[in-house]
Structure 1
Protein backbone atom coordinates (compact mmCIF):
# COMPACT_ATOMS: atom_id res chain seq x y z
CA UNK A 1 0.00 0.00 0.00
CA UNK A 2 1.30 3.46 -0.90
CA UNK A 3 0.98 6.16 1.73
CA UNK A 4 1.39 9.93 1.36
CA UNK A 5 4.76 11.29 2.43
CA UNK A 6 5.41 14.68 3.98
CA UNK A 7 8.25 16.39 2.09
CA UNK A 8 11.19 17.90 3.98
CA UNK A 9 13.21 20.79 2.51
CA UNK A 10 16.87 21.69 3.00
CA UNK A 11 17.83 24.98 4.62
CA UNK A 12 17.22 27.99 2.33
CA UNK A 13 20.19 28.77 0.06
CA UNK A 14 20.56 32.45 -0.96
CA UNK A 15 22.13 33.47 -4.28
CA UNK A 16 23.82 36.73 -5.35
CA UNK A 17 20.76 37.64 -7.45
CA UNK A 18 18.61 37.63 -4.32
CA UNK A 19 16.95 34.33 -5.23
CA UNK A 20 16.48 31.93 -2.34
CA UNK A 21 16.06 28.22 -3.11
CA UNK A 22 15.03 25.27 -0.95
CA UNK A 23 15.60 21.82 -2.46
CA UNK A 24 13.79 18.72 -1.28
CA UNK A 25 15.95 17.09 1.39
CA UNK A 26 16.17 13.51 0.12
CA UNK A 27 17.95 12.33 3.25
CA UNK A 28 15.10 13.63 5.44
CA UNK A 29 12.21 12.42 3.25
CA UNK A 30 11.35 8.69 3.36
CA UNK A 31 11.51 7.14 -0.11
CA UNK A 32 12.95 10.27 -1.79
CA UNK A 33 16.32 8.72 -2.79
CA UNK A 34 14.38 6.34 -5.06
CA UNK A 35 12.18 8.96 -6.73
CA UNK A 36 12.86 9.47 -10.46
CA UNK A 37 12.85 13.26 -9.96
CA UNK A 38 14.09 16.07 -7.70
CA UNK A 39 12.23 19.21 -6.64
CA UNK A 40 12.65 22.64 -5.08
CA UNK A 41 10.78 25.80 -4.30
CA UNK A 42 12.33 29.19 -4.85
CA UNK A 43 11.64 32.88 -4.48
CA UNK A 44 12.85 35.80 -6.61
CA UNK A 45 12.59 39.35 -5.18
CA UNK A 46 11.04 42.22 -7.17
CA UNK A 47 13.36 43.46 -9.94
CA UNK A 48 15.80 40.54 -9.60
CA UNK A 49 16.97 38.21 -12.37
CA UNK A 50 18.21 34.74 -11.48
CA UNK A 51 21.55 33.45 -12.61
CA UNK A 52 21.49 31.79 -16.05
CA UNK A 53 20.95 28.06 -15.43
CA UNK A 54 21.84 25.17 -17.74
CA UNK A 55 21.95 21.46 -16.92
CA UNK A 56 21.41 18.02 -18.45
CA UNK A 57 18.02 17.33 -16.87
CA UNK A 58 14.56 18.35 -18.12
CA UNK A 59 12.76 20.78 -15.78
CA UNK A 60 9.26 22.09 -15.15
CA UNK A 61 8.49 25.35 -13.28
CA UNK A 62 5.14 26.24 -11.73
CA UNK A 63 4.64 29.93 -10.88
CA UNK A 64 2.96 29.96 -7.45
CA UNK A 65 2.73 33.76 -7.12
CA UNK A 66 4.10 36.92 -8.69
CA UNK A 67 4.76 37.97 -12.27
CA UNK A 68 7.83 37.91 -14.44
CA UNK A 69 9.53 36.94 -17.65
CA UNK A 70 11.23 33.65 -18.39
CA UNK A 71 14.05 33.58 -20.95
CA UNK A 72 14.99 30.24 -22.45
CA UNK A 73 16.62 29.22 -25.72
CA UNK A 74 16.06 32.59 -27.38
CA UNK A 75 12.41 32.83 -26.30
CA UNK A 76 10.96 35.19 -23.68
CA UNK A 77 7.60 34.43 -22.03
CA UNK A 78 5.50 36.55 -19.66
CA UNK A 79 4.37 34.33 -16.76
CA UNK A 80 2.09 34.64 -13.76
CA UNK A 81 0.36 32.60 -11.04
CA UNK A 82 -0.69 29.09 -12.05
CA UNK A 83 1.36 29.02 -15.26
CA UNK A 84 3.92 26.32 -16.00
CA UNK A 85 7.06 26.41 -18.16
CA UNK A 86 8.99 23.36 -19.44
CA UNK A 87 12.74 23.41 -20.19
CA UNK A 88 14.49 20.66 -22.14
CA UNK A 89 17.91 19.58 -20.89
CA UNK A 90 20.92 21.70 -21.93
CA UNK A 91 18.74 24.77 -22.73
CA UNK A 92 19.79 27.90 -20.74
CA UNK A 93 16.99 29.52 -18.74
CA UNK A 94 16.37 32.25 -16.17
CA UNK A 95 13.54 34.31 -14.71
CA UNK A 96 13.16 38.04 -13.99
CA UNK A 97 10.62 39.22 -11.45
CA UNK A 98 8.81 42.14 -13.13
CA UNK A 99 6.21 42.57 -10.39
CA UNK A 100 6.06 44.52 -7.14
CA UNK A 101 5.93 41.39 -4.92
CA UNK A 102 8.15 38.35 -4.46
CA UNK A 103 7.81 35.77 -7.21
CA UNK A 104 7.45 32.22 -5.87
CA UNK A 105 8.03 29.16 -8.03
CA UNK A 106 8.13 25.38 -7.67
CA UNK A 107 10.53 23.31 -9.79
CA UNK A 108 10.67 19.60 -10.64
CA UNK A 109 13.47 18.05 -12.71
CA UNK A 110 14.24 14.54 -13.90
CA UNK A 111 16.68 12.62 -16.07
CA UNK A 112 15.81 11.20 -19.43
CA UNK A 113 14.05 12.29 -22.58
CA UNK A 114 10.61 13.89 -22.44
CA UNK A 115 7.66 11.59 -23.11
Structure 2
Protein backbone atom coordinates (compact mmCIF):
# COMPACT_ATOMS: atom_id res chain seq x y z
CA UNK A 1 0.00 0.00 0.00
CA UNK A 2 1.25 3.46 -0.89
CA UNK A 3 1.38 6.39 1.53
CA UNK A 4 -1.05 8.37 -0.67
CA UNK A 5 -3.70 6.91 -2.97
CA UNK A 6 -6.71 8.16 -4.89
CA UNK A 7 -10.13 7.45 -3.44
CA UNK A 8 -12.64 5.71 -5.72
CA UNK A 9 -16.13 7.20 -5.83
CA UNK A 10 -19.33 5.30 -6.53
CA UNK A 11 -22.05 6.30 -8.95
CA UNK A 12 -24.03 9.48 -8.38
CA UNK A 13 -27.50 8.38 -7.27
CA UNK A 14 -30.79 10.13 -6.54
CA UNK A 15 -31.59 9.89 -2.82
CA UNK A 16 -34.90 11.73 -3.02
CA UNK A 17 -36.33 14.36 -5.42
CA UNK A 18 -33.74 17.12 -5.80
CA UNK A 19 -31.16 15.28 -3.67
CA UNK A 20 -28.20 13.37 -5.12
CA UNK A 21 -25.33 11.64 -3.34
CA UNK A 22 -22.08 9.90 -4.14
CA UNK A 23 -20.45 7.44 -1.73
CA UNK A 24 -16.79 6.62 -1.39
CA UNK A 25 -16.24 3.03 -2.56
CA UNK A 26 -12.62 2.38 -1.75
CA UNK A 27 -9.07 3.61 -1.60
CA UNK A 28 -6.61 2.90 -4.38
CA UNK A 29 -7.09 -0.69 -5.44
CA UNK A 30 -10.54 -0.85 -3.72
CA UNK A 31 -9.35 -3.61 -1.37
CA UNK A 32 -8.59 -0.90 1.18
CA UNK A 33 -11.73 0.63 2.65
CA UNK A 34 -12.47 3.72 4.72
CA UNK A 35 -14.22 1.66 7.41
CA UNK A 36 -15.35 2.41 10.02
CA UNK A 37 -15.75 5.88 8.46
CA UNK A 38 -18.32 6.50 5.72
CA UNK A 39 -17.88 9.44 3.33
CA UNK A 40 -20.66 10.83 1.16
CA UNK A 41 -20.91 13.95 -0.98
CA UNK A 42 -24.43 15.21 -1.53
CA UNK A 43 -26.27 18.07 -3.21
CA UNK A 44 -29.75 19.51 -2.82
CA UNK A 45 -31.27 21.45 -5.69
CA UNK A 46 -32.64 24.93 -4.92
CA UNK A 47 -35.64 24.71 -2.57
CA UNK A 48 -35.32 20.89 -2.26
CA UNK A 49 -35.79 19.01 1.02
CA UNK A 50 -34.05 15.75 1.92
CA UNK A 51 -36.00 12.83 3.37
CA UNK A 52 -36.11 12.85 7.20
CA UNK A 53 -34.11 9.90 8.52
CA UNK A 54 -31.98 8.64 11.39
CA UNK A 55 -29.10 6.18 11.67
CA UNK A 56 -26.91 4.68 14.39
CA UNK A 57 -23.88 6.69 13.26
CA UNK A 58 -22.58 10.06 14.39
CA UNK A 59 -22.21 12.40 11.42
CA UNK A 60 -20.44 15.61 10.49
CA UNK A 61 -21.53 17.70 7.50
CA UNK A 62 -19.12 20.17 5.93
CA UNK A 63 -21.36 22.56 3.98
CA UNK A 64 -19.39 23.26 0.79
CA UNK A 65 -21.86 25.47 -1.07
CA UNK A 66 -25.17 27.25 -0.75
CA UNK A 67 -27.30 27.77 2.33
CA UNK A 68 -30.24 26.18 4.09
CA UNK A 69 -31.23 24.69 7.40
CA UNK A 70 -30.82 21.44 9.28
CA UNK A 71 -34.09 20.34 10.88
CA UNK A 72 -34.13 18.00 13.88
CA UNK A 73 -36.75 17.04 16.46
CA UNK A 74 -35.47 19.78 18.76
CA UNK A 75 -35.30 22.66 16.29
CA UNK A 76 -33.67 24.17 13.23
CA UNK A 77 -30.12 25.29 12.52
CA UNK A 78 -29.30 27.76 9.74
CA UNK A 79 -26.26 26.66 7.70
CA UNK A 80 -24.15 28.15 4.90
CA UNK A 81 -20.99 27.30 2.95
CA UNK A 82 -18.08 26.79 5.33
CA UNK A 83 -20.15 25.56 8.28
CA UNK A 84 -19.54 22.27 10.08
CA UNK A 85 -22.56 20.49 11.56
CA UNK A 86 -22.44 17.65 14.09
CA UNK A 87 -25.43 15.26 14.11
CA UNK A 88 -25.96 12.86 17.01
CA UNK A 89 -26.73 9.19 16.26
CA UNK A 90 -30.30 7.84 16.28
CA UNK A 91 -31.85 11.32 15.96
CA UNK A 92 -34.17 12.18 13.08
CA UNK A 93 -32.85 14.95 10.83
CA UNK A 94 -33.13 16.38 7.35
CA UNK A 95 -31.76 19.28 5.31
CA UNK A 96 -33.70 22.01 3.52
CA UNK A 97 -32.22 24.20 0.78
CA UNK A 98 -33.66 27.67 1.25
CA UNK A 99 -31.65 29.36 -1.50
CA UNK A 100 -31.55 29.82 -5.25
CA UNK A 101 -28.35 27.80 -5.68
CA UNK A 102 -27.54 24.16 -4.98
CA UNK A 103 -26.64 23.32 -1.39
CA UNK A 104 -23.72 20.89 -1.32
CA UNK A 105 -21.99 19.07 1.51
CA UNK A 106 -19.53 16.38 2.45
CA UNK A 107 -20.78 13.91 5.07
CA UNK A 108 -18.42 11.96 7.30
CA UNK A 109 -20.10 9.38 9.56
CA UNK A 110 -18.94 6.69 11.96
CA UNK A 111 -20.36 4.32 14.53
CA UNK A 112 -19.35 4.68 18.14
CA UNK A 113 -16.97 1.97 19.28
CA UNK A 114 -16.46 1.02 22.90
Alignment length, in residue pairs? 112
More strand by share: 2
Alignment partner, residue 86 of structure 2: 86
Gaps of 5+ in 2: none
Name the CA distance, whole Å, in 2 between partners of 1:94 and 1:5: 33
TM-score w.r.t. structure 2 length? 0.89
Deviates more, 1:35-44 or 1:22-31: 22-31
Alignment partner, residue 41 of structure 1: 41
Gaps of 5+ in 1: none
The alpha carbon displacement at 1:26 in A equals 2.9
1:18 and 2:31 matched = no
Q: Matches of residues 52-63 of structure 1 in structure 2 within 5 Å?
A: 52-63=52-63
Name the CA distance, whole Å, in 1 between partners of 2:15 and 2:40: 14
For residues 6-40 of structure 1, give each alpha carbon's deviation from its aligned partner in whole angstroms, at most 9, with x where no partner exists: 1111101113321000010138645215x320101
The alpha carbon displacement at 1:2 in A equals 6.3
Name the CA distance, whole Å, in 1 between partners of 2:32 and 2:73: 34
More helix by share: 1
